[in-house]
Every structure is written in structure tokens, then in C-alpha cells.
Structure 1
Amino acid sequence: MGLNFSFIKSLHRASPVAVGAMDMVKDEIIYSSGHAEKILGYSKEELKKHSKNYFESIVHPDDKQKSREAISKLMESDVGEIIECTLRVKKSGGKYLTLLIRDIVFDRDDENSPVKFTTIVQDVSDVVALENKLNEKLEVIRKISYKNSHELRAPVANIIGLMSLMKEESFKTEFNAKIFNHLEETVAKLDEIIHDINNLSNT
């Protein structure tokens, strides 16, 4: 049994990603599953207006060059090749979302030049935000590791060196020897902990 357009349209509407199609000759969107409007908060008419020049009016200024490069790759793509990129795109309220965009040409002219393409869009803002938080935590760990290696280990090494000089009979009394042994064990344990932190931060 063949699948009619109504079925395909309902499938797109039920999908958690936005599905659309662009006419590269007319330079405008020719189909939208409706999910893009929900993600970005634009009406169908506003979305069509923004689709001129491949949505450049709502792409983040710092991502415009990336968008142009993706379109250039799409224009030169082979049959069946998928072009993927992430762009920050402005919602109707002014906030930017990070979108994962995958494009594929589905219609070409007699000279095999792209005429129309399908675009699949997914909001990955939460994933990017989580990745940024993880990178921030990793940077903190790297700073702690640096301080541990350069600022904490040096004084401990100095203490160990001084203690080796203090291992003279003239220094030791029975009372001092007990304090010295306790101090030596404590410093050795601290040095061991520092080594463990370094090993963990380097794995």
C-alpha cells in the first residue's frame, strides 16, 4: 500500500524534530512540519519570511559564516550526501537556541544542480548547555591539578627535605622523636594524597 502525503505529513508532525523543505531557486521554505514554529515561536508566515536567504536574518551574527559554508557544501554535495552543522538561531522573543541542522538535496535540475532540499532540525540547547557546564568543571579540575602540582607539592617537598636534615641524633630526644615520627607519617600521607589527586586528574 502506497503512503500518501497526509500520512507523511502526520508522521512529521508527530516527530520530535522539525522537518522542512527549501526551494533553492525561489529561496524560501516550501514545507514545514509545524514543529519549527513551535521551537522558535514564529507563525508560519513569519517563518516563511525569515527563510529568505536561508534564515540568515535570525541566525546568530557569529554563526552566519558557518551557515554560509554549510549552504556552499550543500550546493556542492553528492547525491545522498547529508550536510550537518549546529547554529544558534533567534527565537521570536530574542533568545537564541542551538539547533542541530541536517540537510540533504532531494531535487536537482538537468545539470544535476541542487534545486530543493530537505532539512531536519533538532533543538540541542540543553545538550550544549550541559557540555559547557562540564567544560567549566573540567577547567576547575585542571586549575586544581595545576595548583596541586606546582603550589602544594613544592611546600610538602620542602618539608620532607627539612625533615631529612632533622634526622640527627643531636636533635632527637625521646619526646621530640615521637613528635618527629608522627609528623613524618602525616607528611608522607599528605604526599601520597597529592599523588593520588594528580593521578585522578590525569586520567
Structure 2
Amino acid sequence: MNDYDAIQGFSQLAVLSEYFLQVTLEKTGRVITSDSSIGPVPTFFDNKEKPIFFSDCFAASNWGKYESQRIKAWKNSHQSFTVDLQKIEHPEGDLVDTKWEFFFITEDYGTCLGIGHPVSQPMPYNLGLGDFFDSATSEGKEIIDSILEDKLLGFWEFDVSKKGDKISKGLGQMLGYTQDELSGSTPISWQKHIHPEDFPNLLNDLSIHFKTAGNLPFKKEFRINQKSNQTIWALGFGKTIEWSNTGHPTKILGCILDISDRKKQEIWLKEHHYFLKELAFEQSHTLRARVANILGILEILDSEPQNNESKRLVQLIKKETKLLDQSLKKSIKESVQKNKSIENDLSNESNSSPF
């Protein structure tokens, strides 16, 4: 997957989000695409082909700030840039402070796809997409690919000094909390929903992230117990965005994805692997051993004096027994080959797994 496809896919998540905003701007400031909350609401008399420009969506005075950041990022060969813009609320004309991350999606560094969010409203988290992951890095590509492959559950923020948790609305709803609980004054800790067996390993990986001063990204697969006592498999990414003067982490941001379907497939592969392994052993050591015994008995009978009919029956049984042995050998060979294929798949999963 190239960067453009990944960014476009991520923009589709923004379109469906209650929090994120999305717009694509040409070099001239013309709006190519946007979600419904960007730009004036067309009336019956408006020409459907009437173009929308930057000044229709944001304060005109912000254009210079946007252009300055775009050119700066272009000259420094950065894949994206952040900028604070004042979004126009139509039809009232009020201005709302918003924070944006713009990604270059054309080779001339002119057309940019932007994903933003309001900053004037109290939100459960304040996530700078460019700070959290850079699509140009291997970690960033992995996060974007994971978001496109699995279901994004939400975002979390942890203040180490205050021991305070903040979670996004989507993550809270997934855990089973009501809107009243999410909007209440009591903070909700998503960590307490981590499966007890997975919690020690998660803390260990988080400790490694801290010891490497954030150079080793935090990534972990673990189980989450919802309030309804249902368990789902999750993949968590995290990054320390604030450090104290003494080098200790003070604030961490992260996102969580639902990988339950992927884990079910992995568990099925493991179970199928063990089944084929047992089947191959049973065929090789038990069934073929008994076939060999039968052939041995038939050889003894064949050497004994017998009438024509008995001899014919012994030869027939011997022939069928040899055919059975050939079928068993073929079945064992196919089981072993299939088992090796599954072992390779499991090995690849293990190498890419954070465990």
C-alpha cells in the first residue's frame, strides 16, 4: 500500500467520525472534497458546480498561515504539516478554532488532504495525528495499515503525573459505558478492563518503551473485558508525547483497534495445525503399523497350502491392503505439507506479533 492510498483510507474514517473534520485543498485554495460540515450549505438556487474556496471554509486571514506551513513542509521534504485554522460555521458565520494535519497527496506538494478537529470544545483527548504517527515512518505505515485492516475502537490519553485517564467516546461506548457515564465527572480507566493475564506483559512492554526514551514504540496485543463481561482481542499503539526535565514520561497517547476476527482466524489455524499433526501421527504410527501387521499375516497365509479359492481371497486381501497403505502414505504426505504451510503462517504471525 502506498502512502496516498493509506491517507485516503484514513480520511474515510474522518468522514464517518463525529469528531474529525476532512477537506482536500488544491494549491490555489479551491476545495476538491470535504465533509458536510466544511463550507457553506448550498441553497436551491446555487449552481451545483459552483466552486468552494479556502475563504468559504476558513477565516481568509488564515490562508497566509496555511501557505507558510505548506511551503515550509515542502522545502523540508516533510510528508505533512500541522496548522491551527478558524473554521467558519455556516450560516451563522461564527468562527471555531480547529487544529489540522495536512498530508501531501500530489508530487508537486500542492494538493493537500487535511484531517482536523475542534479545539475550542472540551474533548476527552487532544490528539495531534502528525505527532502520534508519521505516515513516512515504518511505525506510521503499520498503524495506518492496521487501522484500515481492523476496526478502530478509539483513542486514549494517560497523564502519568496525575494518574489520570481520558478516553474517546467511541472507546468508552465499546467498553460498555453509557453517554451519561462518559459525560460525568468521574474519570473512566480503560486499563482496568484489560484481561488480568495480559496486564503484566502490557506493563512490561510499556516499561521498555519508557526505558528506550520512546525510541521503541509501544505496541501490544491484549484482551479487553467489556462491562457486559464479553471479551474482545485488541491491538494497542502508544506514544509518549511529553517528558519531564529528568527524562520521565508525563503524558502518553494511543489508539486501540479491534482484532477479534484476526485472532479467531489465528486460533483456528493453531487448532487445525494440532489436528493435522495428531492425524499425521495417528496415520503414520498406528494405522500403517496395523496395515503392516495385516500384510505380514497374509504373507504367512500365502506360504501355507491352500485351495485355489482361498489363495485367490488371500491375494485379493493383500492387494487391497497395499492400496490402503498407499492411500495412507498419500494422506500423511498431504497432512504434513498442509501442516508446514500452517506452521509458516503461524511463524509469520509470531514474528509480527508484539508478544
TM-score normalised per structure 2: 0.49
Relative distance call for 1:68 and 1:169 in structure 2 (3 A) is closer
Cα distance, 1:33 vs. partner?
4.1
Q: Deviations over 1:155-182 (max 9, x none)?
A: 10101111222332723x3323332222
- Contact 2:222/2:233, CA 8 A, preserved across alignment: yes
Alignment match of 1:126 (pick from 248, 261, 265): 261
More helix by share: 1
Q: Counterpart of 1:174?
A: 308
Relative distance call for 1:47 and 1:187 in structure 2 (3 A) is farther
CA distance in 1, matches of 2:295, 2:117: 74
- Contact 1:80/1:104, CA 8 A, preserved across alignment: no
Alignment match of 1:21 (pick from 146, 151, 157): 157
One-letter code aligned to 1:49: P
**Structure 2: which 5+ runs fail to align?**
1-65, 67-81, 85-98, 101-114, 119-126, 130-146, 338-355
- Contact 1:100/1:124, CA 8 A, preserved across alignment: yes
Relative distance call for 1:99 and 1:46 in structure 2 (3 A) is farther
Cα distance, 1:68 vs. partner?
2.1
SS at match of 1:166: helix
Q: Deviations over 1:18-49 (max 9, x none)?
A: 2232222112234x443312322224357973
Q: Deviations over 1:105-137 (max 9, x none)?
A: 122122332221221211112222232233223
Q: Counterpart of 1:197?
A: 331
Q: Counterpart of 1:41?
A: 176
SS at match of 2:222: strand
Relative distance call for 1:9 and 1:36 in structure 2 (3 A) is farther
- Matched ranges for 1:1-150 at <5 A: 1=66, 2-4=82-84, 5=99, 7-9=115-117, 16-17=151-152, 18-30=154-166, 32-42=167-177, 43-45=181-183, 49-51=187-189, 55-150=190-285
User: Aligned pair count?
Assistant: 196
Percent identity of paired positions between Structure 1 and Structure 2:
18
Q: Deviations over 1:69-107 (max 9, x none)?
A: 133223213344211112222212122222111111122
CA distance in 1, matches of 2:310, 2:174: 73
Cα distance, 1:63 vs. partner?
1.9
SS at match of 1:49: coil
- Contact 2:182/2:188, CA 8 A, preserved across alignment: no
SS at match of 1:35: helix
Cα distance, 1:187 vs. partner?
0.6
* RMSD after superposition: 2.7
- Contact 2:194/2:223, CA 8 A, preserved across alignment: yes
One-letter code aligned to 2:157: A
Cα distance, 1:190 vs. partner?
0.5
CA distance in 1, matches of 2:238, 2:295: 63
- Contact 1:29/1:48, CA 8 A, preserved across alignment: no
SS at match of 1:100: strand
CA distance in 2, matches of 1:8, 1:87: 30
- Contact 1:20/1:119, CA 8 A, preserved across alignment: yes
Relative distance call for 1:154 and 1:138 in structure 2 (3 A) is same
